[in-house]
Chain A
Amino acid sequence: MNREGTLKRVLLVIASLVALGVGVAQAKTTVEFWHAMSGSRLAVLEKIVSDFNATHPDYEVRAVFTGTYEETLTRFIAAYRAGTAPNFVQVYEVGTQTMIDSGAIIPVYQIPGMLGETWDWAQYVRPILLYYSVDGNLWSFPFNSSTSMLYYNKDHFRQAGLDPNKPPTTWDEVFAIGRALIAAGVVTNVLSFGWPDWQFEQQLAIHNYLYADSDNGRAGLATTVTWPDPFSVKVFTTWTELAREGIFLYGGPEYNANSAFTSGKISMLFQSTSSLDGILKTAKFEVGTSFLPRFPDEPRGNSVVGGGSLWVRKGQRPEELRAVWEFFKYLSQPEVDIFWHKGTGYFPATSGAMKQLMDEGWFAQSPNHLTAFLQILSGRQDTAASIGVRLGPFVEIRDYVRAALEKAVAGTLSPEAALAEAAANANRALREYRELIQ
């Protein structure tokens, strides 16, 4: 009995040694991916990653949710400085210039060459390509791109005797419809914003106004912001006025305002297209979507791209880079791209996916998924103002804009004074950034 036990043990040891040897020989290359996808987006992303891992036995992508966009960027920076950064990371569009200047990343357009491949970059949807390109070269991998649009509660419109298919197209109509909804007793507040700082950028862009000099920071590092100028003051004044009438309700940063909309406390919401599927699933009323309202007497621009893209850390082993690149190529396959779009509301990034979606009649079936597309493809794409803003300390500047809006809406400061205060901070931040980078 004793001998038998010993024999078993020896066999066990041998077996495990063999297993270990096989394991080493077929070792997977594991790469880490930090992202900020929460809520309804998280499950969709996790499915994509696990499908990739299942179909690519040589590689394993380990996706780690690291908090909000802000937290993810802060953590990536800290980890990079400590030498523990992941292989690639999702950074929101605000961090674009910071990443470009970081010296910490490999621009994605260089990766195929490094691996002895070529890649067709023209397949990506143009506004996205333009947004993340420097001198015509793409620096980060297009992943979750969105823009802002208007969501509205069609049931509320009906209750107030309004035409549910006529959402406001101008700010005057926002006033009129808002007053009607309040007068009818449907709601006490009508409109709220997600990402309020970003909505300010959107207003400037759809009216073709620059946000900062040096062509919105695209021709070189920006030195000053353009506001407060008459147009930006007009935007702030309009919003303050709406707040004074109770039509506009300041809803906090990011996605905080969504809940007020989906629970029917308000009737209209400006929010990223990426909230579309979350909102459609939670709202117990008919949801309509439309273009952002405009000032009809102002010039036309375009709504700008938001969301995030994927940045590849410098200093990786070739097989790691290969794994990252295989994952990126996987993301660009039409089926994967379509799955991502349908599950979240983010733009499909490639024209291949776009074509396939049209062929299968998806947009006719779900017109809300088309709204943002029509909006961004119907605008101009030939001016810096309509392509988007790129600033080094953009995270910081947005925070000042948000504070300015809070102050203006609360009546602590006049719209002009609030913008001026934010501008002083923004310009100081831009100056400090230039001094460090140049």
Chain B
Amino acid sequence: MEAKFPGYRLLPYLLIFPSVAVIVVFLVVPFAQAVQQSFYRTSPFGATTRFVGWDNYVQIFSTPEYLRSLLTTVGFAGLVIAGGLSASLGIAILVTRRIRGLGFYQVAFVWTYALSPAVAGIIWALLFDPAVGLGTYVIQLISGYRINMMVQGTAALLIAATAAAWNMLGYNICFFIAGLQNVPKEFEEAARVDGAGAWRTFWRVTFPMISPTTAFLLFVNMVYAFFQVFGLIDVMTQGGPGGATEILVYKLYRDAFIRLRGNFASAQSVVLFLMVAAAALFQLRVATRKAVYSR
């Protein structure tokens, strides 16, 4: 790229300085401190600090709680991602079936995105309130079984995951619609002329073409299910009952701010970072591969 304003040496640095400063001071430095603190243990008031090597990490991987929390998170995220993405892809396909009112449906579905995880959580907590929830009532009518998310761990996890997937529906649908609209119709028609059925056409032509969108949404939904749902869990279950919904970020919060184990929490932060970094790099790879397909 050519410089559109040659001769300015200092100005570009001044222009990026505020962004860089914020990123360095509030993102990079705290993360570096987290890495450093993860190798120490400090008394609550900071009077004594001991170097403990990998001990905090050893504790992460040798205690059942962390692994249980990890499994819970993976299960939760799996439900949110698989359930949420497939539902929203289905809806997006229906909306883009060359029907009228596409604009209407776009707005009609997007609004769940405006709801915070905490609001989504509280609404679903109401729906499945053990005493007065409508969901509780309907399920009891159908199956005769009265679910109680305050006591039953699996029920709590399923309901929380449903609430989370519901919360992300609007966002996912919007992106899928945009992605599907970008697929040139000629490709699908060519496939159809070749005699492929709708199902085959979708999987062989359309789905690969929207894979960058899918990868992007996969990443966004993962970040959502790993981190953003904190508010949802906090208002719905607070990690309970009996740790059944204690996802990693909730455990980290409790360790850091309730159990006062900042160093141990910092080690968890570092582990979380490795997961996010892996996911981000994966998304980047898929997103750069898209060059083959689009434009």
A binds B: yes
Residues in A lying within 8 Å of B, measured CB to CB: 70-71, 73-74, 77, 80-81, 98, 101-104, 250, 252, 265, 393, 395-396, 399, 403, 406-410, 412-413, 421, 425, 428, 432-433, 435-437
A-B interface contact total, Cβ < 8 Å: 84
Q: How far is the CB of B226 from the nearest CB of chain A, in Å?
A: 21
Does B18 belong to the interface (CB within 8 Å)? no
Instruction: Name the one of B50, B65, B242, B254 contacting A436, with C-beta atoms under 8 angstroms.
Output: B50
Chain B: residues with Cβ within 8 Å of the partner, total of 30
Does B64 belong to the interface (CB within 8 Å)? yes
Q: Could you tell me if B47 and A406 are in contact, using CB atoms closer than 8 angstroms?
A: no
Q: Could you tell me if A432 and B151 are in contact, using CB atoms closer than 8 angstroms?
A: no
Cα–Cα, bound, A326→B46 (Å): 30
Does B231 belong to the interface (CB within 8 Å)? no
| A-side contacts of B241, CB under 8 Å | 250, 406, 409-410, 412
| B-side contacts of A80, CB under 8 Å | 45-46
Cα–Cα, bound, A80→B41 (Å): 18
| B-side contacts of A102, CB under 8 Å | 44-45, 47
A-B contact pairs, 6 of them (CB 8 A): A81-B45, A250-B241, A395-B260, A396-B259, A410-B151, A412-B244
| A-side contacts of B258, CB under 8 Å | 70, 74, 395-396, 399
| A-side contacts of B243, CB under 8 Å | 403, 406-407, 412
Cα–Cα, bound, A103→B44 (Å): 10
Q: Could you tell me if B41 and A436 are in contact, using CB atoms closer than 8 angstroms?
A: yes
Report B234-261 residues with CB < 8 Å from chain A CB: 238, 240-244, 254, 257-261
Q: Could you tell me if A410 and B242 are in contact, using CB atoms closer than 8 angstroms?
A: yes
Q: How far is the CB of B52 from the nearest CB of chain A, in Å?
A: 9
List 6 other contacts, CB 8 Å, given A80-B45, A406-B241, A432-B41: A74-B260, A252-B238, A396-B258, A399-B258, A399-B259, A410-B153
Q: Could you tell me if A413 and B242 are in contact, using CB atoms closer than 8 angstroms?
A: yes
| B-side contacts of A395, CB under 8 Å | 258-260
Cα–Cα, bound, A399→B238 (Å): 12
Write the chain A residue with the least CB distance to B48. A436
Q: Could you tell me if B153 and A412 are in contact, using CB atoms closer than 8 angstroms?
A: yes
Cα–Cα, bound, A103→B50 (Å): 17
Q: Could you tell me if B257 and A436 are in contact, using CB atoms closer than 8 angstroms?
A: no
Q: Could you tell me if B260 and A396 are in contact, using CB atoms closer than 8 angstroms?
A: yes
Residues in B lying within 8 Å of A, measured CB to CB: 41-48, 50, 59, 63-65, 131, 150-153, 238, 240-244, 254, 257-261
Residue in B45, B50, B151 whose Cβ sees the most chain A Cβ within 10 Å: B45
Q: How far is the CB of B198 from the nearest CB of chain A, in Å?
A: 46
Q: Could you tell me if B45 and A77 are in contact, using CB atoms closer than 8 angstroms?
A: yes
Cα–Cα, bound, A258→B101 (Å): 51
Do most interface residues of chain B lie in helix, strand or loop, or is the interface mixed? loop
Q: Could you tell me if A406 and B50 are in contact, using CB atoms closer than 8 angstroms?
A: no
Q: How far is the CB of B73 from the nearest CB of chain A, in Å?
A: 17
Write the chain A residue with the least CB distance to B45. A102
Cα–Cα, bound, A130→B67 (Å): 42
| A-side contacts of B46, CB under 8 Å | 77, 80-81
| B-side contacts of A425, CB under 8 Å | 63, 65
| A-side contacts of B42, CB under 8 Å | 436
Instruction: Name the one of A81, A408, A410 contacting B244, with C-beta atoms under 8 angstroms.
Output: A410
Q: How far is the CB of B28 from the nearest CB of chain A, in Å?
A: 20
Instruction: Name the one of A70, A77, A265, A407 contacting B242, with C-beta atoms under 8 angstroms.
Output: A407
Q: How far is the CB of B46 from the nearest CB of chain A, in Å?
A: 5
Cα–Cα, bound, A428→B55 (Å): 12
Given contacts A396-B260, A399-B254, A410-B151, contact A77 B44 (CB under 8 A): yes
Write the chain B residue with the least CB distance to A71. B257
| A-side contacts of B65, CB under 8 Å | 421, 425
Cα–Cα, bound, A403→B243 (Å): 7
Q: Could you tell me if A74 and B43 are in contact, using CB atoms closer than 8 angstroms?
A: no
Q: Could you tell me if A436 and B260 are in contact, using CB atoms closer than 8 angstroms?
A: no
Cα–Cα, bound, A81→B49 (Å): 13
| B-side contacts of A408, CB under 8 Å | 242
Write the chain A residue with the least CB distance to B152. A410
Cα–Cα, bound, A102→B46 (Å): 8
Q: How far is the CB of A228 from the nearest CB of chain B, in Å?
A: 16
Q: How far is the CB of A34 from the nearest CB of chain B, in Å?
A: 15
| B-side contacts of A81, CB under 8 Å | 45-46
Closest CB pairs A-B (n = 7) = A407-B242, A396-B259, A410-B242, A102-B45, A412-B242, A406-B242, A436-B43
Write the chain B residue with the least CB distance to A76. B45
Cα–Cα, bound, A50→B152 (Å): 48
Instruction: Name the one of B44, B131, B150, B257 contacting A250, with C-beta atoms under 8 angstroms.
Output: B150
Cα–Cα, bound, A71→B260 (Å): 11
Cα–Cα, bound, A194→B242 (Å): 17
| B-side contacts of A71, CB under 8 Å | 257
Residue in B46, B65, B131 whose Cβ sees the most chain A Cβ within 10 Å: B46
| B-side contacts of A98, CB under 8 Å | 44-45, 260
Cα–Cα, bound, A421→B131 (Å): 31
Cα–Cα, bound, A406→B259 (Å): 17
Cα–Cα, bound, A80→B44 (Å): 10
Q: Could you tell me if A103 and B151 are in contact, using CB atoms closer than 8 angstroms?
A: no
Write the chain A residue with the least CB distance to B43. A436
